[in-house]
Chains A and B, each alone.
Chain A
Amino acid sequence: MIVAGCDVGSLTAKAVIMDDKKILASAVILSKTAPEDSAREVMDRALASMGGSMNDIRRCVGTGYGRKHIPFVNSVESEISCHARGAVWQVPSARTVIDIGGQDAKAIKVDESGGVTRFIYNDKCASGTGRFLEIIADALDIKLEDLGDISSKSGKRITLSNQCVVFAETEIISLVNEGAETPDIVRALHNAVANRAAALAKSIVVENDVVMTGGVARNSGMFAALQSALGTSLKMTENPQINGAIGAALMAADIA
């Protein structure tokens, strides 16, 4: 039985097509202005990559920020439950999930079946979300996907004194003007974002194993920074960015 999950986020849209708990196809695109356009395009791409059509999909669950605008879904589920479900499917020993999205951050405690036992969410403050990385990468004229590699070249530890993205941006511009090395600045940025995300996670009491999901988890510098901020090692997932869409597809399979 073929099912699909579609996760329309603020920055990227993700689609996953699964058959009997196996991933057949997946796609990730940059979100468009209208969430329905993002959903259609990402699903078309996933279908095209396996040579299928919408008719092959028995059931589709939508999630993410734009989930209410996906025209082809049978039902929608919250991002929290999809991330929990996806993470435990990817890493069965996962008990804490930290998901850093484009404009939010979530920490979720999960049980062995992928159910949510506790969660906390920040979408009020841009600090500690992917937006922080995006704004600073833009100010430094660096591609978001290059941040991880750049920070690995850092030889000197700098600490940002500001937590607010707006103030931190000014602080970073001053650091650049004072001649600080870009890799050192990028590492400081990773630590700042990680400290915020770790504070969020600690407030619901972190339990091992911890997995990091969301596109930000593909940034090796952020992954390392979050490990050190939490003081525990993180489990790597194979597909961190499509974790929410995997969870949505699994939920589609439950009810199909």
Chain B
Amino acid sequence: MIAAGCDVGSLTSKAVILKDNTIIKSVIIKSKAKPGESAGEVMKQALAGAGISMKDIDYCVGTGYGRDKISFMNEAITEIACHGKGAQWLVPSARTVLDIGGQDCKAMKLGATGVMIKFTANDKCASGTGRFLEVMARVLGVGLADLGEISLSSKSPVTLASACTVWAQADVIQFLNNKVPVEDIAAGVNNAMASRMAVIVNNIGLERDVVMTGGVAKNLGVVAALEKLLGLRIKRINRADPQLAGAIGAALFAREKAKGGKS
């Protein structure tokens, strides 16, 4: 039984191929201008990596921002459902899931079976989303993926006066002009990011274990800052890349559908 999940996000697209309960191949690419092309490309790479073709896939579920444009899927399922399901597979004890996407931030509360009980999201304001970090990394002239690593060597993080991405960007430029070390600015950026995320997660009420999914979960600076703000340890995801949570959830739904069971 081979199932596939394809998560087409605003910034990256992900594909996961699941054989029984094992991920045999996963791929993450930068999203293209058209979601349909992103889906085709990421799935082509995943299939090639697994050494199989589309007809070997018993069922494919699409999710994410561009899910309606995926031509090869059998069905589309919402991001929320897929993220909850994926997070629960990654960390079975997860009860609170914080997923930071390229242009949104979602907090979910899960029941013991992985079913979602409560949910809140911000997609109105760039602050607290992956977009905030993307803008700041560009101003700092560092890679988005390096922002966490760089911040870890900071001795005295700066404080950004405003949560708004536009104003914070002006602050960061000012710090750079004043020759503040990049690691201190990066740490300030990660702290600002974490404090916005904390507001959202506190809105639904914290319940252990807390996990973070999405690409930002790989930024250790943000994770550490958020742990400090929430006063608890965020459970680390080791089973797969946390950025794959949505695609994994989609693949798990696909597996259930292929078996003819219910989600």
Contacts and interface: CB of A to CB of B under 8 A. Distances in A.
A165 B163 contact: no
A166 interface: yes
A83 B41 CA distance: 57
A252 B201 CA distance: 50
From A103, A131, A164, A167, name the one whose CB has the most chain B CB atoms within 10 angstroms: A164
A126 interface: yes
B162 interface: yes
Contacts of A103: 167
Interface string B136-176: 00000000000000000000000000111111000000000
A166 B163 contact: no
Interface residues on A, range: 10 to 19
A23 to B, nearest CB: 33
A166 B167 contact: no
A167 B126 contact: yes
Interface in A48-107: 103
B38 interface: no
Contacts of B14: none
Contacts of A163: 124-125
Nearest to A162: B124
Nearest to B163: A124
A163 B131 CA distance: 15
Nearest to A132: B166
B131 A126 contact: no
A125 interface: yes
Q: Is the interface of A mostly helix, strand, loop or mixed?
A: loop
A164 B129 CA distance: 12
B103 interface: yes
Interface in A148-196: 162-167
A144 interface: no
B135 interface: yes
Nearest to B134: A166
B124 A166 contact: no
A124 B103 CA distance: 19
Contacts of B126: 164-167
Contacts of A131: 166
Given A163-B124, A164-B125, A166-B131, A125 B164 contact: yes
Contacts of B166: 126, 131, 135, 165-166
A124 B162 contact: yes
Contacts of B124: 162-164
Contacts of B125: 125, 163-164
Given A103-B167, A126-B167, A167 B103 contact: yes
Nearest to A166: B126
Contacts of A135: 166
Nearest to A135: B166
Nearest to A177: B33
Nearest to A122: B164
Interface in A106-147: 124-126, 131, 135
Contacts of A126: 164-167
B59 to A, nearest CB: 33
A125 B164 CA distance: 5
Q: Which of B124, B131, B135, B164 has the most CB of A within 10 A?
A: B164
A89 B162 CA distance: 34
Contacts of A166: 126, 131, 135, 165-166
14 contacts: A124-B162, A124-B164, A126-B164, A126-B166, A131-B166, A163-B124, A164-B124, A164-B125, A165-B166, A166-B126, A166-B131, A166-B135, A166-B166, A167-B126
The 4 closest A-B pairs by CB, nearest first: A126-B166, A166-B126, A166-B165, A164-B125
Given A125-B125, A163-B125, A166-B135, 18 more contacts: A124-B162, A124-B163, A125-B164, A126-B164, A126-B165, A126-B166, A126-B167, A131-B166, A135-B166, A162-B124, A163-B124, A164-B124, A164-B126, A165-B165, A166-B126, A166-B131, A166-B165, A167-B126
Interface of A: 103, 124-126, 131, 135, 162-167
